Every structure is written in structure tokens, then in C-alpha cells.
Amino acid sequence: MEAMGVSSGQVGSALMAETADVVVIGAGVAGLACARELSAGGFDVVVLEARSAIGGRVRTLRMGAAGPVELGAQVVHPVGCDAFDDLLREARIGTAPMGTGAEFVVVSGGAHYDAAALAARIRPLPWVAEDGLYAAPPRSGTVDRALSGLAPPARALARCWMEQVVGEDPGLLDLTETAMTYHGGGRGGERVVVDGFDRVVHALAGGLEIRTDSPVERLRWGGDGVEAATASGTVRARAAVLTPPPPVVAGGGLGLDPPLPPSKVAAAAALASCDAVAVVLVTARPTARSEWLLLADPPGGLWTGRAGSRVVTGHVKGPSASLVRRRGWESDLLRSLGPRLGDLDDVLVLDWGRDRWFRGAYSVPVAGVGAASAEWAARLGGTVFFAGEASAEAGLRGLVQGALASGERAAAEVTLSLSGGPHDQRSGRDA
């Protein structure tokens, strides 16, 4: 099994004391998009990445005949983002509708129901209940409150569905904020990247100077520039762009000196990423048919298996993610999936919630997230800038498109701030 590597760009781990125009912290989609724009504009950019691989919360495994397996970003959501669409087109990255040919199954109370069997027992179906949330004009309150009028069995299943689709307890999800991103186009609107989401990462990384295994231990900043110190050296620059998730930055992950102002710390709390665990099961025999399963029974989550493949993937989000950390969760899973699964040859787990560099999968639409996002995106003086999906505008927050758009937005802010800087090689104008 091979994890995502780097096929392009200058990547290494040695870092000597040096200077640059801009230091970008984090080599996820936001950081790479920002560095790509700045580099194309003629700036000298160094990207510092804490991990040994780039991509951030894009994590693609290559498993031979099973093809690419996504443990992080899985789908391209049906939202408008011209920059992302342009990248796909320029890099010739193909996409396809998600879930084509797969039967949808709900596992509840130990029984397995296809859509028809479930409809005979519960109305509305959970995804129909979700669409109903977005059909009416935006209302105040939580998603859970909006579902309160359903009969208990339908409400319980709709809550389970929303927790796994959006990634948080419906009692915490703000209805209006949720509708801005998940506006009813999701069922049948999402697409997958055919050759793996890491193709997007490689397309952004080409030609950039990226230093892996280089976590920033301290970032000093002020009116005269920044200094990013790692275990192996220091980069002094005119500006820095911070792209790690807000809880990582605000929680001391970068050692900012001076520290973040209270308004930024408060914004980071509202932008906490959802808990999530990704699981890869390697079965002893190929799966008989293609299925997409919602487990209402422990350990929960959305699971996919493809006919003829020995790989089954699961993504367990929100409060249910804690169930995958319990002793004996594999037994719960075997009971839920029953004979469909068979014996297992291997189990791989990626715990996003407990990863020190991420502390969760992505920001979720809780109350107040819009104002918090705007606060997080605001620069500090003229030297420290912020990017990442949590800082994206409404409708893109929490998505890969939002990460890319935020990186390009931060690049434009840096370019404006460092006015009188380098020549714009693309347009032939001074930056």
C-alpha cells in the first residue's frame, strides 16, 4: 500500500537559515494555491510543511487494482468555484458522478434496508428530509429543531444522516449556515476525482519550493516582517501566510510571538473542525456488489464497497467518531455489516480528530461560523495573512474549493500589501 507522495515540485527536509519574500505555512490545498499564485507573480516563496507529505487533508492511498482510496477529501461538491474548475481543466483532471451503480443500504436495528424497503417503513427517507430543510426559505435555529416535526423513527434516521453528511451533531448545526453549503444539490450533484484527489495536490505543487518535515516551532511577526523557526533552521520573510486549521494555530501549534489577539482565539473556537475517523478494510474475498451504506447502528458512519474489490472504506464523523476509538469497535462493525463483509485481512485507521496537525476533518456550519470565518481571514498588520477552508466565504467553507479560493484570496492580499514588490511575470505589469 502506498500513501500519497509528491510527483512534482522541489521537496526536501533540509532547511538552512535563509530569506524569502513570503513564507507559507502548510502544504495543503490552501497553502499550495497561495504559493502558486505568489510564485507566478514573481515572489520568492518558501512553503513549510510539518508532515512528511504534502496535501493536508487530502489523503489518497494507492492500493493496486482497488484504485485510489480517499481517506480525506472525497468529493467535489456542486458549488460555484471558477478557480477550482479552471484547475481541473488545465491539469486535465477528470471527474465522474459519485456513487454511480451503487445500491444504497441503511443498517438499522440489525436489519439491512434498501431504499424501497426503507421507504415502506419510514417516511420521509433521510435524504428527502434533508432536501426538505433547504426547500423552504432559510429559517433560524438548528437542523435538529427543523427535524423535530418528524415521527421519531424518521427523525432519528434523519439526524444520523445529517451527522454523517455534514459532520456534526444536528443539535449544533445552524440551519441557515448549513443550507448555504448543502443546498439540496448534493444528492446526485457530487463528483469524485477519477484518478484520485491527490492529482489536485500535484497540479498545485508543480515548481514550488516545499520543505517537508519542517513544523514551525515559533513564528515571530511584526511590522518589519516575520521569522519562522523550525528545528533545522529559520526563514525570514516579508510576510507569512498561515493555512493550518484555526484550532491548531490558536492552540499553540505555531508558537506565535506575539500571540494571537483574543478576537482570533475566539474565532478559532467557533471554527473547530468536526471529529472524524477514516477506516479502510481489506476483506478476505471480493465484495459481491457495489454498495453505499449508512450505519445507524454502532459504530456508525458512511461505508462504501465496490463489486469485485477487496477494499471497503468508511468515514465516521461527528459524535459517532468516538465509537471507532472504543475497544471492540471492530466487533460492532462486523455485527452491523454481517455476511456482506466476511473475514478481514487488514484494518487501517486514520484518526483526523486526534491528529495534532489537523484536530479534525473540516469546519462545520455551527451558529456564528460566518462571523468567525471573516474574523479568522482578517490579516494581522501587513505581515501575517490567513487561508484555509475555515476562512472561506459562505457556501465554500468546509470544502476543497473553499481551501483553494482562500489561498488565492490570501495571495492577492499579500501582493497588495507588499506593494512596489516584484514584477508580475504573467501580466507584464508591476505587482
Q: Determine the Cα–Cα distance for residues 81 and 394; give it in Å rounded to an integer.
A: 12
pLDDT value at position 148?
94
Where do the CATH 3.50.50.60 domains begin and end in the chain? 2-57+197-272+362-417
Q: Name the pLDDT band for 67 (thresholds 50, 70, 90).
A: confident
**pLDDT score for 306:** 87
Residue 426 has a pLDDT of 35
Residues 376, 261: Cα–Cα separation, whole Å:
11
Has domain 99-188+277-351 been given CATH number 1.10.3720.10?
A: no
Task: Kindly indicate the confidence band of residue 15, based on its pLDDT and cuts at 50, 70 and 90.
Answer: very low
Q: Which residues contact 303 (CB under 8 A, 6 or more apart)?
A: 291, 292, 293, 295, 312, 313, 314, 315, 337
148 burial via Cβ count (<10 Å: 0-12, 13-18, 19+): exposed
In the predicted structure, residue 188 carries a pLDDT above the cut 60: no
Q: How many CA atoms lie within 13 A of 387 on its CB side?
A: 32
Assess contact for 310 and 285: CB atoms under 8 A: yes
Mean pLDDT, the chain, whole residue set: 89
- Comparing C-alpha atoms, which of 66, 292, 268, 279 is closest to residue 165? 292
> Please, is 372 exposed, middle or buried when counting C-beta atoms within 10 Å of its C-beta (0-12, 13-18, 19+)?
buried
Angle made by CA atoms 100, 103, 109, in degrees to the nearest 5: 145
Domain spanning 2-57+197-272+362-417: CATH 3.50.50.60? yes
Residue 369 is predicted with a pLDDT of 94
Burial status of residue 258 (CB atoms within 10 A of its CB: 0-12, 13-18, 19 or more): exposed
Rounded-to-integer distance, Cα 124 and Cα 36, Å = 46
Residue 424 pLDDT exceeds 70: no
